[in-house]
A and B are shown apart, each in its own frame.
Chain A
C-alpha cells in the first residue's frame, strides 16, 4: 500500500506546502476535508499499521497544499494508535510525509470546550494553527453568539467560521493559511505540569479554555442538543430502544441477504461467461486453464460477495454518520461486557454474519488492543454468507420435507442451530481469552454520544466505496495467490485425456447432440479422474486417517482441502469429485443424488444424515477462509496471532465434529 503513496511523494513543484487537518471525531472534519479537496484524494494506510491515511490536494491561490487528514482525535497525549500516529505526523516522523507547515484545527462550535482542548495541545507542536469553526449554522440556530475576533486574539491564532454546505469561509480559510505559513507560531499560554502526573496540565488547559470562552462567546441559556436528547428518549429507551435496535439489525440482514441476491447472481454469471469467453478464444493449454479455472474462477468466487459487502458498508456508514452507532454500543455494552468485550464490538461481530473480512476491518473503532484482538479472534465464528451454500447443500440432501412438531421445517431448525452454535462458540472463546492470554483490567468505556445529524450523502458513499475498495485490494491479491496454488494442487500432475478415452474420433461438426452429451459425460469423468490423481487428491488420501473418525472419506477430504481457500468451494469440489460437472450449484438434484448414492469401497454409504450434520458443525467452527487469514494478519500485524487463530479454530472444529459424529453414533443415528 505504501507503494501507491510513493508515487505522490516524488518532488512535484506544484505541491509546495503540507497542511494537517486535525479535530475531534464528529467535528465535521471529513465534510471539511471533502469540501476542500474535492475528489483529489487518496486513501491508504500508515506504514505497518491499519490507521487510514487520507491525503488530498487543496488549491490555496497560487500554491497547492497537500492536505493530510489526521484520524479523529480527542487528545494527543494518550496511548491509542490513532493518537500516536497523529503525533508522529505533526513531528515529521512518518516516512513519506513532510512535517506540516500549518495545521487547520477543526472545532465544532456547538461543543467548544472539549474541541478546543485538542487545539491547546496542537499549539505545543510549534506549527502555526488556524482554527476552523464548523457546525456554525447549528450554533447560530441555538441563538448563541461568538466573537471571532476576540477568540482569535485570545488564542493568538486566526479563527474562521466555515460551512461546507454553503461554501462560507472557504476564501477566508485560504487567506489565513497563506498568511500563517512560515510565520513564527504564537503560543497563547503554557500549561505547566505540577506534581507527578500530567493531570494538572489537563486542568490548566481547561481553565484556559474556560477563560477564552467566557470572554468571546455569549451562550443562550437554553441547553444545546435538546433534539438529540428527545430522540434518545425513544432510541436509548430501556425497552423501545432495544426493540428498535433489533428492528434495525433485522432490516440490515434482510438487505444483505435478499437485496444483494440479484447483483450477486449477475456477478456470478458474469464471471462464468468471462471464463467461457476466454476459454473459447484462447488456445487450449495450461495457461488458459490457469486463467479460467484458477484466476477467473477464484477471484470471481470472492468478488461475488461484493454486493453484500457494499450494502453492509453502506449501512455502517449511515449508522456512523447519523450518530446511531454510538447509541447501539451504549445499549449493548452491558451484554458485551459480560463476556469481556466492548460495546463497540457488536458492530464488527454483526458485520461478520455477512463476511468476516469487513467485520474484522470494522474492529478498528475499538481502542483497546486486547478488546480488539478478542473481537477479531471470534469474528469468524459468525456464520458468514459463504457457509450458506454448504448448509443448503447438506440440508437439501438429507433433511428436506422433514418437520419438527409437525409444522416447523427441520432444515430451518438446523440452519438456526448452526448460527447459534457459532454465536455460542464465540461467547465461550471470548470469555476464555479475556481471562487468559488477553487478560487485563476492564478497558475503560468512555465514549461520546454525538448529537444526531442528518447523514451527508457524499460522505456516506465515499466511505462505502473506500472501504469496499480496500476489501477488493486486500482480498483480491491474496485470493489470487491462493487460487493459483489450489488450482495447481488440483491440476498437477496433469493427465492429458487420451484420444482413446473419448471414443471413436469424430469431427465436432458431425457430432450429434446425443454424442455431444456422451462426450460431456466422459469429460466430467475425466475431470474427476484428474482430481483423484492430482496432488490435492493425494492429500485427501493422506488426511483420510485423520478425518475417518469424523465419518469423512478421502473424497470429502479433498473437498475440505479445497474449501480452505473459501468455504463455498466445497460445493464445486464435491461436484467435480462425484462426476456431476463443476457447474452444479448447491440446489442441484444431480449433485444431491450423487451425494446420497456415494458408496465406500465396502459398499456402505458414505453420507448419512449424521455425516451431513458433522460436516456442518465442522464448517461452523473451522477457519476455512484464506482471505480472512490474510486480513487478520494485516490487522493484527502478527503471524503468531494469525497462526494461533487458525490453529485453535481448526482444533475446536475437529473436536466438535468428532463429538458430534461419535456421540451421534452412540445415540444410534
Chain B
C-alpha cells in the first residue's frame, strides 16, 4: 500500500519516462538512449540523440510497433526499443 502510494507520487513529480509510455500525439524531448549494443547505436544514428524532439504519432493495429516523428521524418520502432529511449515532457 505504502509502496504504491510512493510510486504514484514519484510518477507525478518526475517528468522523465520512456518513449513507449508517453501518450499518443504528445511531444517529448529525448534525454538519453540506454544501452550500448547495436540497437542503441542504430537508434542514435537515425537521429534519436539527447535533445531531439520526438512525437508519438500512433501505434500499429496490434499495439506494436509505434510510429514516432522526429527531425521531420517518421520512424517505426518496436515498443521494446522504445523502452530504451528516455524522454521528458
Residues of A participating in the B interface, judged by any CB pair closer than 8 Å = 74-75, 77-79, 110-114, 117, 196-199, 202-203, 206, 223-225, 228-229, 232, 236, 238-239, 241-242, 326, 329-331, 333-335, 337, 343, 442, 444-451
CB–CB B76/A447 < 8 A: yes
Query: In the complex, what residues of A have CB within 8 A of residue B81's CB?
Result: 444-446
Could you give 28 example pairs across A and B, Cβ below 8 Å? A77-B45, A114-B46, A117-B47, A196-B36, A199-B36, A202-B49, A206-B47, A206-B52, A228-B74, A236-B58, A236-B67, A326-B76, A330-B76, A333-B76, A333-B78, A334-B65, A337-B78, A444-B42, A444-B77, A445-B76, A446-B76, A446-B77, A447-B75, A448-B75, A448-B76, A449-B76, A451-B73, A451-B74
Query: In the complex, what residues of B have CB within 8 A of residue A78's CB?
Result: 38, 41-42, 45
1/0 per position for B35-53, CB-CB distance to A under 8 A? 0101111111111011010
**A203–B41 alpha-carbon span in the complex (Å):** 10
**A236–B64 alpha-carbon span in the complex (Å):** 12
Task: Please give me the residue from chain A that is nearest to B72 by CB atom.
Answer: A224
CB–CB A111/B72 < 8 A: yes
CB–CB A225/B65 < 8 A: no
Smallest distance from the beta carbon of A581 to chain B beta carbons, Å?
53
Smallest distance from the beta carbon of B31 to chain A beta carbons, Å?
12
Query: In the complex, what residues of A have CB within 8 A of residue B8's CB?
Result: none
Query: In the complex, what residues of A have CB within 8 A of residue B76's CB?
Result: 326, 329-330, 333, 445-449
**A6–B39 alpha-carbon span in the complex (Å):** 38
**A113–B39 alpha-carbon span in the complex (Å):** 20
Question: Given A114-B46, A117-B45, A206-B47, are A225 and B60 also a contact pair (CB < 8 Å)?
Answer: no
Residues of B participating in the A interface, judged by any CB pair closer than 8 Å = 33, 36, 38-47, 49-50, 52, 57-58, 60-65, 67, 69, 71-78, 80-81
CB–CB B41/A239 < 8 A: no
**A211–B88 alpha-carbon span in the complex (Å):** 23
Task: Please give me the residue from chain A that is nearest to B50 by CB atom.
Answer: A203
Chain A CB within 10 Å, residue with most, of B42, B43, B60, B65: B60
**A447–B78 alpha-carbon span in the complex (Å):** 10
Q: How many A-B residue pairs have CB under 8 A?
A: 129
Question: Given A111-B73, A228-B74, A444-B81, are A239 and B46 also a contact pair (CB < 8 Å)?
Answer: no
Query: In the complex, what residues of B have CB within 8 A of residue A229's CB?
Result: 57, 69, 74
Smallest distance from the beta carbon of A447 to chain B beta carbons, Å?
5
**A337–B81 alpha-carbon span in the complex (Å):** 14
Query: In the complex, what residues of B have CB within 8 A of residue A228's CB?
Result: 74
Smallest distance from the beta carbon of B56 to chain A beta carbons, Å?
13
Smallest distance from the beta carbon of A158 to chain B beta carbons, Å?
24
Query: In the complex, what residues of A have CB within 8 A of residue B73's CB?
Result: 111, 114, 225, 448-451
CB–CB B61/A241 < 8 A: yes
CB–CB B49/A446 < 8 A: no
**A343–B61 alpha-carbon span in the complex (Å):** 13
The prevalent SS among residues of B at the interface is mixed
Query: In the complex, what residues of A have CB within 8 A of residue B75's CB?
Result: 446-449
CB–CB A197/B62 < 8 A: no
Task: Please give me the residue from chain B that is nearest to A111 by CB atom.
Answer: B73
CB–CB B46/A333 < 8 A: no
CB–CB B46/A74 < 8 A: yes
Chain B CB within 10 Å, residue with most, of A114, A224, A242, A450: A114
CB–CB A79/B38 < 8 A: yes
CB–CB B72/A110 < 8 A: yes
Given contacts A74-B46, A331-B60, 15 further A-B contacts (CB under 8 A): A117-B45, A117-B47, A198-B41, A206-B52, A225-B74, A229-B69, A236-B58, A238-B61, A239-B61, A445-B65, A447-B76, A448-B46, A448-B73, A448-B75, A449-B67
CB–CB B72/A223 < 8 A: yes
**A241–B59 alpha-carbon span in the complex (Å):** 12
**A78–B43 alpha-carbon span in the complex (Å):** 11
CB–CB A334/B67 < 8 A: no
Question: Given A113-B72, A326-B76, are A75 and B64 also a contact pair (CB < 8 Å)?
Answer: no
CB–CB A242/B42 < 8 A: no
**A631–B75 alpha-carbon span in the complex (Å):** 32
CB–CB B65/A330 < 8 A: yes
Identify B74's interface contact among A333, A334, A449, CB under 8 A: A449
Identify A202's interface contact among B38, B44, B57, B61, CB under 8 A: B44
Query: In the complex, what residues of A have CB within 8 A of residue B61's CB?
Result: 236, 238-239, 241-242, 331, 334
Smallest distance from the beta carbon of A120 to chain B beta carbons, Å?
11
Query: In the complex, what residues of B have CB within 8 A of residue A333's CB?
Result: 60, 64-65, 76, 78
**A111–B47 alpha-carbon span in the complex (Å):** 11
Identify B78's interface contact among A198, A225, A238, A444, CB under 8 A: A444
Query: In the complex, what residues of B have CB within 8 A of residue A335's CB?
Result: 62
CB–CB A75/B45 < 8 A: yes
Query: In the complex, what residues of A have CB within 8 A of residue B36's CB?
Result: 196-197, 199
Smallest distance from the beta carbon of A77 to chain B beta carbons, Å?
7
Task: Please give me the residue from chain B that is nearest to A329 by CB atom.
Answer: B76
